[in-house]
Copies of this chain bind each other. A is one copy, B any other.
């Protein structure tokens, strides 16, 4: 099996993923879906077949635009992407960050037209999956259920982001976003102890939280001086997770990751 799946999950330049890849046995997609579903070896082979048409895309390039009607589905293999909407005045709101194992547009073949765009954040590897292949996969009940679960978690994350933007102040919101990305990255095996690649600019963080990059900078300065985090060159280190979680009012229940699976996950550093 090892030879048939991509083994490198380089998203940034920091090289943590490279180290991790040497130890990872599952692709991020399999790791993520196994959070809840029990997959057979056959299921995994089907999932790995999704990677057959994986293409490299440079940083800050559109994967898909508002108004597009693609006939295939995109899956993040390596790197980060962002779902976003543009306003008439040019302002941008990011509504999701996509990391390896995330589908960009599982829905588009049903909804018809894209109501938002998706852009890469870093240089990425993206799998292009024909609609027919996707439909064949979902004829396996175990996978259909796993995809359904994944969609529902995406929805839960959206609700959480509304709370973040609507009712948390800037400090809490940034902290909450960091906690969420830490847990999600950990769940796919891309966290090295208390560090992970967070290849976002302060402007991108601001666009996700409804803040300006100036204000994100102020908040990050404060988090550093409070000795909660380090964040340099796309590498984030959490110095005191419990305190950060508390300061941000973060409760991971909405990610629906069960303890059972978290324990058994083969993750670097745990």
Interface residues of A (CB under 8 A from B): 83, 85, 87-88, 91-93, 95-96, 107, 110-113, 115-116, 145, 148-149, 151-156, 158-163, 165-168, 209-210, 249, 253-254, 256, 258
Contact = CB atoms under 8 A, between A and B. Distances in A.
Chain copies in complex:
2
A155 B158 contact: yes
B148 A93 contact: no
Contacts of A110: 145, 148-149, 152
B163 A93 contact: yes
Contact of A156 (B111, B167, B210): B111
Contact of A159 (B116, B210, B253, B254): B116
A154 B168 CA distance: 23
A253 B165 contact: no
Contacts of A256: 111-113, 115
A115 B85 contact: no
Given A87-B168, A111-B256, A115-B156, A161 B163 contact: no
Given A110-B145, A154-B155, A159-B158, A166 B254 contact: no
A83 to B, nearest CB: 7
